[in-house]
Structure formats: C-alpha cells, structure tokens
C-alpha cells in the first residue's frame, strides 16, 4: 500500500502535504509534455516522492515509470510553493504539494506510454504549447517557455 493510501485511512479527504518531483526534458529547444489520463491537460513527467527517496531519485523514478526514459545530468530548475500548490481531486481528496522541478537535455530510452496516468507524450516547440496545461504546473512550464533564469524559488 502506498504512503498516500495509508495516510488517507487516517485523515480521509483532508488536505495531505506531499512533495512532487518532476523533470523538464528538453530536446532541440522543445519540451516533453505528457497528456494526462485523469484530466484533459498536459504536464511534465513527475510525481509524488516516496518515503526515503532523494528528490533526484524520485524525479528519475517517476520519469522512467511514466515515459520509459532514463534521465541523467539533472539540474535544479525551480522550487514551487504557495497557493497554486493546492489541489482537489474528483474523488474529494485534497493535497498541498510543493514542487521540486529539475531540468535536463540528457536522456536515453524509447519514449512510450508505460502507465495508466498518460495518454500520450509529445515534444512541443516554445510557440506551440498546448492551451490546456495542467493548472498546478503551468507556472514552471511557462517559466521554461519564457527562458526564466534558474533556479526559480517561488
């Protein structure tokens, strides 16, 4: 049983604090985004840190699980917190998830949908980002798009 499922037994739908770790993967000045299955929006690969993991281990594991890619040479892109980190899910669960975002241009493997969380993965040019970006990730995707200096601490 996962940490989140275990904690839900105790707190029900109340707000759970989590740490999300994701990676902005860039190739040829394009960003890799995944189309989520649980919502009609696009985000970077990443997910919730497991107990005992480092930020980097969590980010690498999530990218591999969601895309089939192995990422290396991760650089800190930004730390994101505040009001935009609250989320309520369709089942009523609520979370506050701070985000540790990495950046890399170095990866190996074959891009594929490897889990139930993703519908598709695609590289987007800066001027062709989809309009339906995940609202909790939009800020760091747009920071990348606008060439903001890193690391961002927000």
Residues 33-70: tens digit of each pLDDT: 999 887 789 999 999 999 999 999 999 999 999 999 99
* Close Cβ partners of 69 (under 8 Å, ≥ 6 residues apart): 25, 45, 63, 107, 108, 109, 110, 111
DSSP-based helix, strand, coil % in the chain, nearest 5: 25, 40, 35
Q: Is the pTM of this model over 0.75?
A: yes
- pLDDT category of residue 118 using cuts at 50, 70 and 90: confident
pLDDT at 75: 97
How confident is the model over 72-100, as pLDDT tens digits?
999 999 999 999 899 888 889 999 999 99
Cis peptide before 151 (omega within 30 of 0): yes
Number of domains in the chain: 1
At 14 the pLDDT is 94
Provide the pLDDT for residue 133. 95
Contacts of 83 (CB under 8 A, 6+ apart): none
Q: Which residues contact 150 (CB under 8 A, 6 or more apart)?
A: 75, 76, 77, 78, 103, 143
Specify whether the CB–CB gap between 151 and 99 falls below 8 A: no
Determine, yes or no, domain membership for 2. Answer: no
Q: What range does the domain containing 52 cover?
A: 19-153
CATH of the domain at 71: 3.90.79.10
């Amino acid at each position: 049983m996962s940490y989140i499922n275990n904690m839900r037994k105790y707190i029900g739908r109340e707000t759970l604090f989590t740490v999300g770790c994701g990676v902005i993967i860039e190739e040829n000045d394009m960003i890799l985004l995944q189309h989520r299955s649980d919502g009609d929006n696009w985000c970077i690969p990443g997910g919730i840190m497991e107990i005992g993991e480092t930020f980097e281990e969590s980010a690498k594991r999530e990218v591999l699980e969601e895309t089939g890619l192995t990422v290396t040479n991760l650089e800190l892109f930004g730390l994101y917190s505040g009001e935009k980190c609250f989320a309520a899910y369709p089942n009523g669960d609520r979370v506050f998830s701070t985000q540790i975002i990495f950046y890399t241009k170095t990866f190996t493997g074959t891009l594929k949908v490897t889990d139930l969380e993703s519908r598709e993965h695609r590289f987007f040019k800066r001027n062709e980002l989809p309009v339906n970006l995940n609202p909790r990730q939009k800020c760091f995707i747009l920071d990348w798009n606008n060439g903001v200096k890193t690391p961002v601490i927000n």
